[in-house]
Amino acid sequence: MEKIIFENGESVLRKGGFVMPQLIQASDFGKQLGCEYNPLGGIAVDSFGRTNIHGIYAAGDASVIAPAQVIIAAAEGVRAAAGVNMNLTQKEFLE
């Protein structure tokens, strides 16, 4: 890299830089199901991955827009799995 040329024609000399991606949901599957979304644009879940719709869980990048990291997605998946397990096995968890 030598230079950045902006749309208005102005330019600045640079030897390198970082590109900041725009973090958006690639899928509107949650919206199709009627899930509520959090302020950052992910599907809103509680600490067990439960959405506002009974029986629908979300985890990983679907619910955590930032920071999007593999280890966080994996942990969210474990939380949601625990939620599913409790939903199936404990009556009081349903209420």
Ligand X SMILES: Cc1cc2nc3c(=O)[nH]c(=O)nc-3n(C[C@H](O)[C@H](O)[C@H](O)COP(=O)(O)OP(=O)(O)OC[C@H]3O[C@@H](n4cnc5c(N)ncnc54)[C@H](O)[C@@H]3O)c2cc1C
Are the C-beta atoms of 80 and 43 separated by less than 8 Å? no
Residue 78 contacts ligand X per CB under 6 A: no
Q: Residues 12 to 71: which contact ligand X by CB under 6 A?
A: 27, 29, 60-62, 68-71
Measured from the CB atom, the residue of 12 and 20 that comes closer to ligand X is 20
Smallest distance from ligand X to CB 40, Å: 14
Comparing C-alpha atoms, which of 81, 12, 90 is closest to residue 45? 81
Tell me if the bond preceding 67 is cis, omega within 30° of 0: yes
Residue with tokens 């809103």: 44
Of 73, 75, 81, 86, which one interacts with ligand X (CB under 6 A)?
A: 73
